[in-house]
Structure 1
C-alpha cells in the first residue's frame, strides 16, 4: 500500500480531479429520485402539466450533465490508473537492473514477466474500478438513508437491514476468495516459466522427441491454474443470484410497506417512488462495490508481490562514503588482491584467495576446467556480485569506492552468451556509445571480423536484428557482440569465452586484429581452447577456484602440471 499511497500523493492534482468528478456524478444521480417524486406528487397527481414539463426539462439537464461528468470521470480514473501502471513498470525495471545476478535469478524471469504484465494490469483494473464504483458507494448509501429517513424512518430501517445482509455476504466471499486469489498469481508464474522454456527450448524438445513430456508438464501447470480459477469463479457465481434475490426482496418489502403507508395517508405516492429509487441506487452501488471488493484479494496479492520485489535491498550498492583513490601512479589497469567469493548457499567458495593484475596494452588469458570460476572473475570485475573478502582495484581505485555506472563505463564486456537486441545492427553496436560514427562502427566490425558479412547484407548497418539475434548464426552473433564492445572505447575489455563459436582461422584473424588495433586497453580473455590464448602476455590457470599457475604459454608448459594436462588433452583430441 505504501507505493500506492506515495503515487496518489505525488499525483494529488489528478487524484482530486477524479474524485471531484465522481462526486459530481453522485450528486446528479441523487437528484433524479427527488425530481421524479416532484413530478408524481405535484405534476401528475394534480394534473399540473407546467410542473411536469418544467421538472422534465430539469431531469434532462441533470441527466446530460451527469452523463458528461461521468464520462470525464471515467477518463480521469483510467488516465490515473494507466499512469500508475507506467510508473510501477518503470520502478520494476529499475529495480531489476539494481539487483545482483543472484537476486535476479532468485526472482526468476517468468515471475518478473508476470509481475510486470499480469500483476500490474490487475492493479490498474482494480484501481479504476475502486475509484469509479467503491468511492461513490458510501456517499450514495449515507445520502439515500438520510433522504429515506426524512420520508419514513421505517423504510430507512428496511434499507439498513438489507444493506447489512449484503455486506455480510460480501465479507464471507472476500474471506474465502483471499487464499485462492493469492495462489493464482503464483500458478501463473509457473505457466509463464513452462511456456517460456517450451518456446525457447523448442529445438532441444524436438531433437529429443520430448513433445509428449512437455505437453504433460504444461498440462499440469495449466490444470493447477484452471482448478484455482474454477473454484474462485464458482465462489463468485453464487454472488449474482443471491444479490438479485436480495434486490427483489427489498423492492417487494418497500412496495408493500410503502403501499400500506400511502393508504394510511402517512406518505405521498411520489415519496414512495423516490424511496424505491434510492433503495435501488443504494443496492446497485453496494453490489458494484461488493463485486469490486471481491477482486481486491487478487489485487492485494499482486501488490504484495510487487512490494516484495521493490523492497528488496540490492546486494550490490554504491557506497558514496568510501574514499576514491585516483592515483596516477597505479601501473595495473585491474588488480585482484586476495579475492575470495562464494555464491549464496554454496558450501565452498568458487574463488579462493585470488591475486593477479591486468596491465594496459597487455592480454591476460584465463583457462581452467568447467566450474573453476572463470566467468565469475568477469562478473566480479563488472561488480555484478559483492566480494566478502579481498578487494578489486580498477585504475588504482577500489571497485567499491566507484559507482556501478562508472565501473561499467570503463569496461567493455563480451558475455559468454552472445545476445543481441531487436532493432538494427547499428543500434546494437551503439549500445555502449550512442555518438559513435559510422566509420567507428565499420572499424569495430573490421577488427571483429564481421565487416564482410555485414557489407553483404542488403541494408548494411541498418539491417534488422531479431530478438536475441536469432536471424544470425552463433559465430555472427559473437562477432557482432565483440564489435559492440570495441565501439565503447573502454579501459578494460573482457572476452568471456566469446571466441567459442568461431572457426580456427577467424579466431586467429580476430586475435591478430585485436593485438594490432586495440593496443592501449587491458584485455582479459576467458577461453576453453589453448590455441585461443597461447599468444597471451599472461595466462592464469584456475583449478577449483584457486590460481594453479601464471605465466606465458611456454613457462606454464614447463612448470604447471594443470596447464600441461589441459594442453595434452586438447592435443590428443586433435590427433585422434
Structure 2
C-alpha cells in the first residue's frame, strides 16, 4: 500500500480535485429525489403547471451540471490511474535494471512481464473504479439515510436492515475470494512462461516433433488458470442477483409501508417517491461498491507482488562516489587481485584465488573447459555480481567503489549470445554512444567484418532490425554486436566467446583488423577455440575456476598440460 499512498501524496492536488468533483456529482444526485418529491406534492397533486415547469427546470439544470461534473471527474480519475500505471512501470523497469543477475533470474522474465502488464492493469482499473464508485458511496448512503430519517424514521430503519444484509454478503464473498485472487496471478505467471517458451522455441519444438507435448503442457497451464477464474467468477456471480433481489424486496417493503403511512396521513405521496429514489440510489451505489470490492482481493494481490519486487534490495549497489584517478600510460587497466567468487547456494566457488592483469593495448585471452568460470569473469568485471574476496581494480580503483554506470561506461561488452534490439542498425550501433557519426559506425562495421553485408542492404545503416535480431544470421548478429562495442570507445573490450558463430576466414580477418585498428583498449577475449587466441599477448588457462597456466600460445604448449590437451584435441577434430 505504501507505493499507492506515496503516489496519491505526490499527486494530492489532482486526487483532491477528483474527490471534490465526485462529491459534486453526489450532491447533484441527492438533489434529484428532493426535487421529484417537490414536483409531485406541490406541482402535480396541486395542479400547478407553473410549479411543475419551475421545478422541472431546476431538475434539468441539476442533471446537466451533475453530468458535466461527473464526466470531468471521470476524466481526472482516468488520468490518475493512467499516471499511476506509468509511474509503477517506470519503477519496475528501474528495479529490473538494478537487481543482480541472480535476483532477476529468481523473479523470472515471465513473472516480470506479468507484474508489468496484468498486475498494473488490475491496479489501474481498480483505482479508477474505487474513486468513482466506492469513495462517493459512504457519503451518498449517509446523506440518503439522514434525509429519509427526516421524512420517516421507520423508512430509514428499513433501509439500514437491507444495507446490513448487503454488506454482510459482500464481506463473506470478499473473505472467500482472497486466497483465489492471490493464486490467480501466480497461475498467470506460469501461462506467460509457457507461452514465451513455446513462441521463442518454436523451431526446436518443430524440429523434435514435440507439438503434442507442448500443447499438453500449455493446456495444463491454461486449465489451472481457467479453473481458478471460474471458481472466482462463480463466487462473484452470486452477489449481483442477490442484491437485485434485495433491491426488489426493499422497494416492495417501502411502497407497502409508505402506502400505509400515506393512507394514515403520516407521509405525502411525493415523500414516498423521494424515499423510494433514495433507497434505489443507496442500493445502486452499494451494488457498484460491492462489485468494485470484489476486485480488491485481486488488486491487493497484485499490489503485494509489486511491493515485494520493489522492496527487494539489490545485492549490487552503488557506494558513495569515489572519482577515478587517471593514470599515465602504460598502466594496468584492469587487475584481478586474488579474486574468489561463488554463486548463491553453490557448494563450491566458481572462481578460486584468481590473479591476472589486463594492460592497455594488449590482448588477454581466457580459455578452459565448459564450466571453468570463463564467462563469470566478464560478469564480475561488469559487476553484475559482487565477489566474495579479493579485489577487481579498474585503473587502480576497486570497482565496488565506482558507480555501476561509471564502471560500465569504461567497458565495451560483446556477449556470448549476440542480442540486437528492434529498431535500425544505426540505433543498435549507437546504443553505447548516441553521438557517434555515420563515419564512425561504418569504421566499426569495417573492423567487425560487417561492412559488406550492411552495404548490400537496401537502407544500409537505416535497415530494420527485428526483435532479437532474428532477421539476421547468427554470424551477422555477432558481427553487429562486435561493431556496437567498438563504437563505444572504451578502456576495456570484453569478447565473451564472441567469435563462435564466425567461419575461420572471417574470424581471422576480424582478429587481424582488431589488432591493427583497435590498439588503445585492453582486450579480454573469452574463447573456446585455440585458433581465436593464437596471437594473444597472454593466455590464461582455467580449470574448475582455478588458474593452471598463463603465458603465450607457444609457452603454454610447453608448460601447461591442460592447454596442450585442449589444443591437441581441437587439432585432432580439425584433422578428422
- In 1, Cα distance between the equivalents of 2:367 and 2:565? 12
- In 1, Cα distance between the equivalents of 2:455 and 2:486? 18
Residue 150 of structure 2 corresponds to residue 137 of structure 1: no
Aligned to 2:66: 66
State the Cα deviation string for residues 194-234 of structure 1 (Å, max 9, x = none).
00000000000011111000000000000000000000011
Aligned to 1:170: 170
- In 2, Cα distance between the equivalents of 1:98 and 1:407? 14
- In 2, Cα distance between the equivalents of 1:104 and 1:155? 60
Aligned to 1:499: 499
Q: How many residues were matched structurally?
A: 576
Aligned to 2:344: 344
Aligned to 1:384: 384
- In 1, Cα distance between the equivalents of 2:411 and 2:202? 35
| C-alpha deviation, 1:359, in angstroms | 0.3
- In 2, Cα distance between the equivalents of 1:437 and 1:575? 45
Aligned to 1:180: 180
Residue 563 of structure 2 corresponds to residue 572 of structure 1: no
- In 2, Cα distance between the equivalents of 1:143 and 1:482? 70
State the Cα deviation string for residues 324-347 of structure 1 (Å, max 9, x = none).
665558821000001110111111
3-state secondary structure, aligned to 1:505 = helix
Aligned to 2:314: 314
- In 1, Cα distance between the equivalents of 2:522 and 2:269? 94
- In 2, Cα distance between the equivalents of 1:399 and 1:104? 21
State the Cα deviation string for residues 391-435 of structure 1 (Å, max 9, x = none).
100011110111000000000000111000000000000000000
Verify the 8 A CA contact 1:325 1:398 in the aligned structure 2. no
- In 2, Cα distance between the equivalents of 1:324 and 1:361? 20
3-state secondary structure, aligned to 2:490 = coil
State the Cα deviation string for residues 93-127 of structure 1 (Å, max 9, x = none).
00000000000000000000000000000000000
Aligned to 2:476: 476
3-state secondary structure, aligned to 1:536 = coil
Decide which moves more: 312-321 or 376-385.
Answer: 312-321
Verify the 8 A CA contact 2:330 2:359 in the aligned structure 1. no
Aligned to 1:12: 12
Verify the 8 A CA contact 2:538 2:552 in the aligned structure 1. yes
Aligned to 2:450: 450
Aligned to 2:256: 256
Once the two structures are superposed, the pairs formed by residues 138-537 of structure 1 within 5 Å of their partners are 138-320=138-320, 328=328, 331-537=331-537
RMSD: 1.0
- In 2, Cα distance between the equivalents of 1:305 and 1:124? 15
Decide which moves more: 135-144 or 320-329.
Answer: 320-329
Verify the 8 A CA contact 2:321 2:402 in the aligned structure 1. no
Aligned to 1:102: 102
3-state secondary structure, aligned to 1:317 = coil
- In 2, Cα distance between the equivalents of 1:226 and 1:270? 50
Q: Could you state the TM-score of these two structures normalised by the residue count of structure 2?
A: 0.99
Verify the 8 A CA contact 2:341 2:389 in the aligned structure 1. yes
Aligned to 1:555: 555
- In 1, Cα distance between the equivalents of 2:385 and 2:138? 52
- In 2, Cα distance between the equivalents of 1:516 and 1:241? 80
- In 1, Cα distance between the equivalents of 2:419 and 2:540? 27
Unaligned runs of 5+ in 1: none
Verify the 8 A CA contact 2:330 2:360 in the aligned structure 1. no
- In 2, Cα distance between the equivalents of 1:213 and 1:412? 42
Verify the 8 A CA contact 1:425 1:463 in the aligned structure 2. yes
